[in-house]
Amino acid sequence: MPRADVPNVAVPRWFGVDLVRNRWLFPLAGLLGTAIGGSTYAISVFVNPWEDEFGWERTETLSSLAIAILATGAAMFLGGIAVDRWGPRPVLAAGGAFATLGMWNASNVDSLAELSVGFGGLFGLGIGLIYSASTIALVARWYPDPDKRGAAIGWSVVGFGMSAVFVAPLWTWGLETIGWRDTFALSAAVIAVLSVVLVTLVRFPPAGWTWTAEQGWHAVDDTEGTGDAGVQRFPWDLTLAEAIRNRYLWALALLFLFSTSGGLLAIGQAAAWAEEDAPSGLGVSAGIAAVVVMALSVANGSGRPTFGWISARLGLRRSMTLAYSILACGLVGLAASSSVAMAIPAALVTGLAFGGALSLNPVMAAFLFGVSSLGRIYGFLFLVGFGLGGVVGPLLGGMLYDRMEDYAPVFLVAAAASALAAISARLLLPAPGAERQHTPRTRAALDEFFAAARAAQSSEPSGAPDDGPAAGAGRSDEVGVGS
C-alpha cells in the first residue's frame, strides 16, 4: 500500500484523485495516447478511395504511411530526450498540436506531396511525441515492480494496436456518409480534445516519493538523484551514449527492425487485400474488409498486455522468441487464406504476436538499461526499429504487389522477416538473469549507494534493512527476468 506519512511531502493528485493509489491511470493515459497513433493501422481503408480519386499506384499511396512511421520514429527519439529532461507534459502538448494539425491538413490534400506532408510528416511527428510522453518512460517510472512492469507497459501501448478496432469501422462509415475529407477533419477535432485531457494528467512520480519492494510507493525525506521538475535520475542507470556502446541495444534494434518490417509490410495492405478480387485477394466488401482489419487490431492490442504477462512467467528472451515465431506462422496463414473464415483466425494470430513483440521491446530496454534515460534510449530503438522498419515494410510490400499483383508473396516475405527475428532473439538476447547491464561508472555508483545504505543502517540499531534502489530507479540486478 502506498504511504504518505512524511510531513511536507504532497500527494500527487489529478482533479482530487490520489495518483499514487490510482497509478493505473498512467497506463490508461498511455492507452488513450497510443489510440491516436494506432489510427495509422486503419489507414488501409483509405487506400482504394485515394487510388480511385487520384490515380496513384500502390507504392505511391503507401509512401505516406511510410513517411508517417519514419516521422513517428524520429519524434520518438527527440521526444524521448525531451521527456527525460523536462517530463512528459510539454512533450505531449506539442504532440497533440502536431497530430491535430496533421490530420486537419490531410483533410485538404489534393496531391501526393500534400498527403505526405500533412498525414505523413505532421501527423507522424505528433503521434511520435504523444507516444514518447504517455507510455514507456512514464509507465516504467510509476511501475518499478518487476512482476507488474511488463503488463503495465503492455496496457499503456494497447491503443496503438487496438485503436483500429474502433477507427476502421468509424472511418469506413465516414467514407460512405460524409467522405474522406470530412472524416479526417472530424478526427482532428477528436484528437485535439483527447490531447488536452491527457496533458492535464501525465507526470512523473514527484520529488519526495520512492518505491521499495517491501513498502511499495511511500513518501521520504530525501530523494537523492532527483533533478528539475521532479524528473528522477539515478547514477546507476546507463545513459544513451553508454547504451549505444552496448551490444544488446543493437541486438534489440535489429529484432525491432525485422519484426516491424514484416508486420507492417502485411498490415499496411490488409484492407486492400481483403477487397481485392480472388485469387489474389478475398473479394469481399469494404465492410467485411474492415472486419478483417478489426480482427488484426483486436489481437494487436490484446497481445501487448498478454505478452507482458507471459514475460513475467517465461522470461523476456523466451517470450520474444515465442512472439516472433507465432508472428511468422500467422503471416504464412494469411498467405494461404482464400476465404474470410481462413483469414480471420490468421489475422488474429498475426495481430496477437505482432502486438506482443512490440510491447516487449521497451520492457527489455528498461531491464537492460534502467529508467533514467529510458525515454531517449527507447526513442533511439524506436527510430531504428519502427522508423526504418516502417519505411522498409510498407514500401517493400507496395513494390512486391505492384510487380507481382499478388498478395501471397507480400505475406511470405513478411513471414521470413519474422522468422529471422525469432532466430536472432534466441541467439542475441541476454541469458537468464543477466539482463541488467552496467559500466564501470554505474557499478561504482551502485557500490557507493549500498555502502552509504549499510553505514546508515549500522547507525540505526532498529528498523528494516534498506532494499536498495527500486527496480524503477534502475536497480534490477537482483530482479532479472529469466529467459
For 84-143, the DSSP string reads HHH-HHHHHHHHHHHHHHHHHHHTT--SHHHHIIIIIIIIHHHHHHHHHHHSHHHHHHH-
Cβ-count burial 432-463 (b if 16+ within 10 Å, e if not): eeebbbbbeebeebbeebeeeeeeeeeeeeee
Model confidence pLDDT, tens digit, residues 183-192:
999 999 999 9
Which residues, other chains included, contact 331 with Cβ-Cβ below 8 Å and sequence gap of 6+?
A: 262, 266, 346, 350, 411, 412, 414, 415, 418
Q: What cell does 355 get? A: 502486438
Torsion of CA 169, 361, 319, 331, to 10 degrees: 40
DSSP symbol at 226: B
Which pLDDT band, with edges at 50, 70 and 90, does 227 fall under? Answer: very low
Give the lowest-confidence range in 219-223, 277-281, 341-345, 449-453. 219-223
Q: Which of 105-114, 236-245, 321-330, 427-436 has the highest mean pLDDT?
A: 321-330
Query: Can you give the pLDDT at residue 461?
Result: 54
- Which residue pairs, CB below 8 angstroms and at least 24 apart, start in 446-449? 446/236, 446/475, 446/477, 449/235, 449/236
Q: Are 46 and 28 in contact (CB under 8 A)?
A: no
Phi, psi at 144, each rounded to 5°: -75, -15
Backbone region of residue 134 per phi and psi (left: phi > 0; alpha: psi in -120 to 50; beta: other values): alpha
Q: What share of the chain is helix, strand, coil (3-state, %, to 5)?
A: 75, 5, 25
Residue 474, pLDDT above cutoff 60: no
Could you tell me what percent of the chain has a pLDDT over 70? 90
Is residue 416 packed enough to be buried (19+ CB in 10 Å), middle (13-18) or exposed (0-12)?
A: middle
Strand residues in 268-413 grouped as ranges (E): none
Phi, psi at 257, each rounded to 5°: -65, -45
Closest CA to 32 of 123, 137, 166: 166
Q: Are 154 and 305 in contact (CB under 8 A)?
A: yes
Query: Can you give the pLDDT at residue 422?
Result: 94
Q: Are 301 and 161 in contact (CB under 8 A)?
A: yes
CA distance 271 to 293: 6
Which pLDDT band, with edges at 50, 70 and 90, does 476 fall under? Answer: very low
Going from N- to C-terminal start, the domains of the chain cover 26-205+253-428
pLDDT averaged over the chain? 83
Query: Which ranges in 145-239 belong to alpha helices (H)?
Result: 149-156, 158-177, 179-201
Q: What is the pTM of this model?
A: 0.74
Residue 101, pLDDT above cutoff 90: yes
Residue 222, pLDDT above cutoff 60: no
Number of H helices, E strands in the chain: 20, 4
Query: In Å, how far from its chain's centre is CA 339?
Result: 31
Peptide bond into 440 cis (omega under 30): no
CA distance 348 to 260: 17
Average pLDDT over residues 157-175: 83
Query: In Å, how far from its chain's centre is CA 279?
Result: 35
What Rg value do the Cα atoms of the chain yield, rounded? 23
Which residues, other chains included, contact 185 with Cβ-Cβ below 8 Å and sequence gap of 6+?
A: 103, 104, 107
Which pLDDT band, with edges at 50, 70 and 90, does 5 fall under? Answer: low
Which residues, other chains included, contact 242 with Cβ-Cβ below 8 Å and sequence gap of 6+?
A: 369, 439, 441, 442
Q: Are 35 and 170 in contact (CB under 8 A)?
A: no
What's the fold here for domain 26-205+253-428? Growth Hormone; Chain: A; (1.20.1250)
Residue 7, pLDDT above cutoff 70: no
